[in-house]
Chains A and B, each alone.
Chain A
């Protein structure tokens, strides 16, 4: 079965750029989405089709997908961006999530 691999944790200083990666075999041939989940809350879609932002998502959130890696970039990271982030794609009629990355804002 298809797998997506994320680093368990990423730390970033407030105001700096956070980069969260998501690796999967030939991921460049698929679309990747990213979800943000804060403690006690439901996930929120922050990036879809690799790099598009839903309405209401700040411009500091961006995404890319090349090679075997999709990347979520948060520019000018704020304290309120501290959350778990999950990548997701689609393979053989199944939805696949990465294991999640806990973003800590120092």
Chain B
């Protein structure tokens, strides 16, 4: 978890409210990712960023948006939270494959409950 923090670590919210999760890194890695972890599904990619202001969708992006205005921060927003978005959310970082150190490293996670 070193070098990657996520906030908040726990959140309970109500259906229909907006929620923003923050990922902050001190490693200056170019790539950042948001995953959700659900029993029976493993980790599924929501969105990722390959540079400041450069983002793209993952396999489960519906209902989520992201922003990256600076290298160290990657925000995940649920515009109108639904109960199906109750999950544990993980941020990860990596360098480009060409750097030879392209392993993804994960943050500690945010447990989100939508009532």
A and B: interacting chains: no
